[in-house]
Amino acid sequence: MADVAIPRAKPQMSEDNAWTQLKHNRNWLGFWFMVPAMAFLIFFLAYPLGLGIWLSFTDTRIGRVGHFVATENYEWLWDDSIFWLSVFNTLLYTFVASALKFAIGLYLALLLNENMPFKAMLRAMVLIPFIVPTVLSALAFWWIFDSQFSIISWSLKHLGVINQNINFLGDTTWARICVIFANIWRGVPFVAITLLAGLQTVSPSLYEAATLDGATRWQNFRFITYPLLTPIIAVVMTFSVLFTFTDFQLIWAMTRGGPVNATHLMATLSYQRAIIAGQLGEGAAISSAMIPFLLAAIMVSWFGLQRRKWQQGENND
């Protein structure tokens, strides 16, 4: 077709050609199919994240545009003892709560995987703490641990075990125990049900074979269940750690970070400084400071998930 065309029409032709080419280019088409997902991710994830990081380098206050102050917010945080206390609290909270959630969740999952009466109902019941809105359960715990009206103190007093209310949320150690307990109560169902789903993918024939070979129950668990469950464990624990690390509602409803900041997590401190006290820039710096920790948690599971050793057992590199 090109050889019969007059020279003047040539550019037109080549444009047509490029367009036709583009039309039949699968990558180009693929790009357009990806656009909605990309737009979604950019607007709802990348943009807020970028904005948060940008804010942390400014002195923005609520309702007022700030100026770029470079790393000033971070410099102030660097020797801010309350900030470091909140980092310590967050790590303690995440580590203890996640470890216990894993232990209890795995135990529950193994239990629920057995054949027993009312299996379906029991499994559904385990989910209850997860279904109740966090704020409601937090308020319930707030009453349970109230300094004057605690049901626990009341019961123990009437049983004659103690003669004064336990200072649940007023004592730093007790307060930490209480909020961690509430978090575990709330987080166990997620771990348990997900691990249970994982357990059910393990073929019963493996256990049969192992039992025929004379394996004990412990060996069954150690050499069949555990290796086959590791990929699920990696995913579940990553999510669990992320949720626990960024927890806000439980703390805010129960203690507001008190007593004397003993339960202030990075998320609650960030909210207190950014929204309550109005210093958006500084609050953003605190929440941005959470990113390295969260990235580390994600990296562990990401690289872990790529290793076949994790997925398919010890000796399968």
Site residues for another protein per CB under 8 A:
61-65, 76, 79-82, 146-149, 164-165, 167-172, 175, 255-262, 272-273, 275-279, 282
We find the least distance from the C-beta atom of residue 158 to another protein, in angstroms, to be 16
User: Which tokens belong to 115?
Assistant: 């054949």
Tokens of 199: 């357990």
Phi first, then psi, for residue 313 (nearest 5°) are 105, 165
Rounded least distance, CB 143 to another protein, Å: 10
Query: Closest approach of Cβ 269 to another protein, in Å?
Result: 10
Q: How far apart are CA 282 and CA 48, in angstroms?
A: 16
Nearer to another protein, 30 or 48 (CB): 48
Nearest distance in Å: CB 170, another protein: 4
> How far from 59 is each of 77, 107, 281, CA to CA, in Å?
14, 48, 5
CB of 221 to another protein, least distance (A): 42
CA distance 266 to 208: 49
User: Least distance (Å) from another protein to the CB of residue 107?
Assistant: 32
Would you say 191 or 262 has its CB closer to another protein? 262
Instruction: Rank residues 169 and 184 by Cβ distance to another protein and give the closer one.
Output: 169
| Token reading at 20 | 């036709």
Q: Measure the CA–CA gap between 161 and 213, rounded to whole angstroms.
A: 52
Nearer to another protein, 169 or 229 (CB): 169
The answer to whether the beta carbons of residues 219 and 236 sit under 8 Å apart is: no
Nearer Cβ to another protein, position 287 or 301? 287
> What is the helix (H) or strand (E) element at residue 128, kind and residue range?
helix 128-131
For residues 65 and 161, which CB has a smaller minimum distance to another protein in the complex? 65
